[in-house]
């Protein structure tokens, strides 16, 4: 009963989300690009696109990331999350512009 | 001297082109490779079949880059376990400390990174990607976690990286060899294996497979597969894993849905994330060494995460476990705070 209730619950939530249709990009949680949030179209900026596709797969975007450590954190994520060099550069550019 | 109109026009066009080129050129990346300390502190509670425990928890990550191609990184776990005493005695406390990884990464080429030291076993997804307390949707790991993870870490070397990355698909890999080390923080069992993931950005689907072979004991093989689906920019996340070992197998599937659509992620309801996880383990013969439940076990976990400002998260969950040895309820609550700090003064820019 619990399992059935859980599956039904999430089915309902997913359906409600699709009809509401206002996904929020990962950038909504960053200081760097708050204006880029609340869009339904895929982001045009390659860095923002790489950010959404890679970072949000495991965790929420940090709300604040000191600029001094962006290079270090991206180096860490390149190893841990298998980021390509191109994605690392694109995300760095997006987060520091 | 007066220029002819044609020459003056050409000059204006040239200036315009130069300005456009300057504006279109990529801006320099203003980042620094400064050592950092990040991680989380948390206070976790669980009541398992009527027995309540508390666990103040500190999980720091230290990153020390050497240039742009070498990184030293480590993650520690410091936990004070507080459990009730028996026969009217006061609580028992026990301090545990450990290191998930202590490793040196050398980013040798675009496709290859060499890792030396103590590293997290790259089997399936939970160990490397979901185990930090500020990431996992539930406080506890899945029941299948012991399969293939070789005690969560090994001491030796890894070769890993991104094989291919494009707009339609990306492929990454990790292979490892862990040697036999007895005692201390670098304790390890001799094993080898690896993982390969394929990610499709358009659909947000990731599939992968893992393998681990342990040289000692009964030489068990472990095979794993995972499937994740997270529509990009959406609120839904589906994660699942299957793992098979010599004497047991199991799977888990987790669904999380952030209620962003109710007035955005910063609203009172938009900060809420209900989570559900279903997991089952099956045993084909007794094996006291694989750390899975001794009998077939099924569990349903229901959780709620609430994301407060300033990287604070409150979570709670209820689990119902079914097994032939007895059913039980597990309640968990927790409060975590995630931080990222520079550990060294930066250069002036």
pLDDT tens per residue across span A31-47? 343 333 344 456 678 88
**Per-residue pLDDT band at B7 (split at 50, 70, 90):** low
Q: Is A72 on the interface with B (CB under 8 A)?
A: yes
Measured between CB atoms, which of A3, A13, A40 is closest to B257? A13
pLDDT at A1 over 60: no
**Record: contact B235-A24, CB cut-off 8 A:** yes
Strand partners, A78: none
pLDDT at B122 over 80: yes
A96 Cβ neighbours under 8 A, 6+ residues apart: A32, A67, A70, B29, B30, B31
pLDDT at B8 over 80: no
C-beta separation of B193 from B183 below 8 A: no
How crowded is residue B191: how many other Cβ atoms within 10 Å of its Cβ? 26
Highest mean pLDDT among A77-81, B204-208, B219-223: B204-208
- Give pLDDT tens digits for B295-309: 999 999 999 999 999
Question: What does pLDDT average to over chain A?
Answer: 67
Q: Which residues of B touch A74 (CB under 8 A)?
A: 31
Question: What does pLDDT average to over chain B?
Answer: 89
C-beta separation of A24 from A53 below 8 A: no
How far is B101 from B160, CA to CA, in rounded Å? Answer: 16
**Record: contact B34-A69, CB cut-off 8 A:** yes
Q: Which of residues B291 and B144 earns the better pLDDT score?
A: B144
pLDDT at A19 over 80: no
B 246-285: CB under 8 A from A: 255, 257, 259-261, 264-265, 274, 276, 278
DSSP letter, residue B18: H
**Record: contact A66-B342, CB cut-off 8 A:** yes
B58 Cβ neighbours under 8 A, 6+ residues apart: B39, B40, B41, B42, B76, B77, B78, B79
- Give pLDDT tens digits for B33-75: 999 999 999 999 999 988 899 999 999 999 999 999 999 999 9
Torsion of CA B11, B16, B19, B21, to 10 degrees: -100
Residue B327 — φ and ψ, nearest 5°? -90, 160
| ipTM score for this prediction | 0.84
pLDDT at A95 over 60: yes
What's the confidence (pLDDT) of residue B26?
A: 45
**Record: contact B274-A74, CB cut-off 8 A:** no
- Mean per-residue pLDDT, B110-115: 96
* Residue of chain B whose alpha carbon sits nearest to that of A6: B276
Q: Pull the structure tokens for residue B274.
A: 């209900």
The distance in angstroms from the start CA to the end CA of chain A is 51
pLDDT at B6 over 70: no
Q: Containing H/E element for A26? A: none
How far is B241 from B253, CA to CA, in rounded Å? Answer: 7
* Residue of chain B whose alpha carbon sits nearest to that of A58: B129
Mind giving me the DSSP string for B138-189?
SSSPPTTTTTTSGGGEEEEEEEEEEEEE-SS-EEEEEEEEE--B-SSTT-B-
Percent of chain B with pLDDT over 70: 89
What's the confidence (pLDDT) of residue A65?
A: 85
Residue B178 — φ and ψ, nearest 5°? -115, 135
Distance (Å) from the alpha carbon of B7 to chain A's nearest alpha carbon: 37
Strand partners, B118: B102, B155
Q: Which of residues B27 and B40 earns the better pLDDT score?
A: B40
Q: Which residues of B touch A58 (CB under 8 A)?
A: 129-130, 135
A 10-39: CB under 8 A from B: 10, 13-14, 16-17, 20-26, 28-29, 38-39
Q: Which residues of A touch B306 (CB under 8 A)?
A: none
pLDDT at A5 over 80: no
Residue A4 — φ and ψ, nearest 5°? -60, -45
- Mean per-residue pLDDT, B267-291: 92
How far is B178 from B153, CA to CA, in rounded Å? Answer: 9
**Record: contact A70-B31, CB cut-off 8 A:** yes
Q: Please state which of the ranges A76-90, B76-90, B170-184 shows the lowest mean pLDDT.
A: B76-90
Q: Pull the structure tokens for residue A3.
A: 């399992």
Mind giving me the DSSP string for B65-131?
EETTTEEEEEEEEEEEEEEPPSTT---EEEEEEEEEEEEEEEE-SSS-EEEEEEEE--STTIIIII-
Q: Please state which of the ranges A30-39, B136-145, B264-273 shows the lowest mean pLDDT.
A: A30-39
């Amino acid at each position: 009963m619990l399992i059935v209730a859980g599956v039904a619950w999430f089915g309902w939530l997913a359906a409600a989300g699709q009809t509401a249709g206002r996904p929020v990009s990962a950038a909504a949680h960053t200081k760097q690009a708050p204006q880029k949030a609340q869009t339904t179209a895929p982001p045009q900026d390659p860095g923002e696109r790489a950010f959404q596709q890679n970072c949000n797969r495991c965790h929420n975007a940090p709300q604040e990331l000191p600029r001094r450590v962006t290079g270090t954190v991206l180096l860490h994520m390149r190893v841990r999350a298998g980021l390509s060099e191109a994605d690392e550069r694109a995300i760095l550019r997006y987060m520091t512009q | 001297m007066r220029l002819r109109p044609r020459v003056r026009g050409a000059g204006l066009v040239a200036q315009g082109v130069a300005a456009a080129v300057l504006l279109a050129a990529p801006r320099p990346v203003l980042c620094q490779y400064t050592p950092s300390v990040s991680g989380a502190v948390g206070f976790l509670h669980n009541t398992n079949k009527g027995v309540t425990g508390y666990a103040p928890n500190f999980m720091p990550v230290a990153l020390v880059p050497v240039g742009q191609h070498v990184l030293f990184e480590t993650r520690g776990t410091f936990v004070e376990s507080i459990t009730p005493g028996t026969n009217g005695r006061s609580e028992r406390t026990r301090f545990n400390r450990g290191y998930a990884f202590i490793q040196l990464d050398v980013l040798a080429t675009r496709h290859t990174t060499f890792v030396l030291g103590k590293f997290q076993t790259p089997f399936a997804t939970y160990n490397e990607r979901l185990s930090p307390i500020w990431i996992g949707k539930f406080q506890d790991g899945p029941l299948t976690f012991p399969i293939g993870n070789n005690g969560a870490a090994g001491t030796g070397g890894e070769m890993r990286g991104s094989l291919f990355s494009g707009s339609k698909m990306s492929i990454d890999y990790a292979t490892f060899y862990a040697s036999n080390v007895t005692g201390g923080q670098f304790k390890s069992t001799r094993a080898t294996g690896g993982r390969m993931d394929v990610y499709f950005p358009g659909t947000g689907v990731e599939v992968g497979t893992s393998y681990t072979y342990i040289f000692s004991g009964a030489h068990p093989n472990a095979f794993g597969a995972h499937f994740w689906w997270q529509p990009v920019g959406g609120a839904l996340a589906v994660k699942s894993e299957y793992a098979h070992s010599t004497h047991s197998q199991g799977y888990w599937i987790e669904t999380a849905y952030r209620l962003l659509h109710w007035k955005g992620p910063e609203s009172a309801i938009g900060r809420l994330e209900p989570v559900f996880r279903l997991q089952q383990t099956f045993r084909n013969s007794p094996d006291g060494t694989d750390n899975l439940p001794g009998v077939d076990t099924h569990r349903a976990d229901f959780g709620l995460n609430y994301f407060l400002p300033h990287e604070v998260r409150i979570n709670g969950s209820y689990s119902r476990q079914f097994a032939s040895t007895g059913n039980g309820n597990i309640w968990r609550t927790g409060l975590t705070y995630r931080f990222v700090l520079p550990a060294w003064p930066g250069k002036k820019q």
